[in-house]
Amino acid sequence: DNVHDKSRGSLIVLEGLDRSGKTSQSNRLVSYLKEKGVLVESWRFPDRTTSTGQMISAYLANESQLDDRAIHLLFSANRWEKRSLMESKIMCGTTLIVDRYSYSGVAFSAAKGLDFQWCKAPEVGLIAPDLVIYFDISPEKAAERGGYGTERYEKLEFQKKVAEHYSTLRDASWKIVDACLPMDIVEEQVREFAMACILTCQKGKPLNKLWS
Ligand code: FDM
């Protein structure tokens, strides 16, 4: 009777400040899950390959100027244009490991002084992650790690504000990893959180919508 029932994949989001190590950990996690035979794909936002993504990329590189609200909505649109593809992949059994999502969207825009609730509004209705892993590091420690790059937001004072907004967004469901621990320890913790989540989703946990 269950021939049409196929267990779904998970939506796992990695968040944290710049230089928190989440991109390296995302790559490590994806390799590990592939070895374990999990159907998995590595995703990231902004997705710079789409036309909105190219506008975002130019903005981040300081090659273009955009109104704070306009760029906020572009980041959000960049997620909305991927929503249905994400849903079909997840429902067909693929787990998505996503480097940044709506939480970055809100934390970075609110750090510019935009109203927090206004920042959340366009994200309402996107797919809610089954798991958010937050790579916790102080802005000062992150800055010490070989310094920031040249992109628009990679400045200590700004990252401090981003960190504050991340703590407002955080809820009891988030898994917090101390990003200052040795990489292998962080990797092990991330694996455990991810595997537990994937099992729960396979057992039929429903896919939810964000912030509703
Ligand atoms: N960023 C990322 C935002 O400001 N809003 C968003 O919605 C997202 C997803 O873009 F500084 C910021 C965070 C970061 C920059 O991210 C680019 P990557 O991970 O460095 O590509």
153 lines ligand 1 (CB under 6 A): yes
Average pLDDT over residues 49-69: 97
What is the predicted ipTM?
A: 0.99
Q: Whose CA is nearest to atom 17 of ligand 1?
A: 46
Q: Which residue has the higher pLDDT, 32 or 148?
A: 32
Residues 6 or more apart whose Cβ sits within 8 Å of residue 134: 15, 16, 166, 170, 174, 175, 176, 177
Query: Which of 20, 73, 108 should be mutated for ligand 1, with most atoms under 8 A from CB?
Result: 108
* Short-list 61, 20, 48, CA closest to 180: 20
The 3-state secondary structure of 42-101 reads: EEECCCCCCHHHHHHHHHHCCCCCCCHHHHHHHHHHHHHHHHHHHHHHHHCCCEEEEECC
| Domain total of the chain | 1
60 lines ligand 1 (CB under 6 A): yes
210 is a domain residue:
no
**d(CA 189, ligand 1 centre) in Å:** 24
Query: Which of 18, 27, 44, 100 should be mutated for ligand 1, with most atoms under 8 A from CB?
Result: 100
Alpha carbon of 200 to those of 9, 66, 95: distances in Å? 10, 41, 12
Confidence (pTM): 0.97
Average pLDDT over residues 51-64: 97
pLDDT, tens digit (0-9, with 9 covering 90-100), for 121-167? 999 999 999 999 999 999 999 999 877 788 899 999 999 999 999 99
**d(CA 89, ligand 1 centre) in Å:** 23
Of all helices (H) and strands (E), which one includes residue 178?
strand 175-178
Strands 11-16 and 131-136: parallel
Residues 6 or more apart whose Cβ sits within 8 Å of residue 47: 53, 78, 82
Separation between Cα atoms, residue 150 and residue 177, nearest integer Å: 26
Domain carrying residue 172: 2-202
Instruction: Categorize the per-residue pLDDT at 28 as very low, low, confident or very high, splitting at 50, 70 and 90.
Output: very high
Q: In this prediction, what percent of the chain has a pLDDT beyond 70?
A: 98
* Short-list 10, 68, 6, 11, CA closest to 45: 11
Instruction: Categorize the per-residue pLDDT at 5 as very low, low, confident or very high, splitting at 50, 70 and 90.
Output: low
Q: In this prediction, what percent of the chain has a pLDDT beyond 90?
A: 93
pLDDT, tens digit (0-9, with 9 covering 90-100), for 73-82? 999 999 999 9
106 is a domain residue:
yes
CATH number of the domain to which 159 belongs: 3.40.50.300
Do 78 and 60 form a contact (C-beta atoms < 8 A)?
Answer: no
211 is a domain residue:
no
Average pLDDT over residues 45-54: 98
Q: What is the pLDDT of residue 149?
A: 81
208 is a domain residue:
no
- The rounded radius of gyration (Å) of the Cα atoms in the chain is 17
207 is a domain residue:
no
Q: What is the pLDDT of residue 209?
A: 98
116 is a domain residue:
yes
* β-strand partners of 99: 14, 44
pLDDT, tens digit (0-9, with 9 covering 90-100), for 92-127? 999 999 999 999 999 999 999 999 999 999 999 999
Average pLDDT over residues 27-34: 98
Query: Which of 104, 132, 150, 156 should be mutated for ligand 1, with most atoms under 8 A from CB?
Result: 104
pLDDT exceeds cutoff 70 at 2: no
Q: Whose CA is nearest to atom 14 of ligand 1?
A: 153
Q: What is the pLDDT of residue 108?
A: 98
Q: What is the pLDDT of residue 1?
A: 44
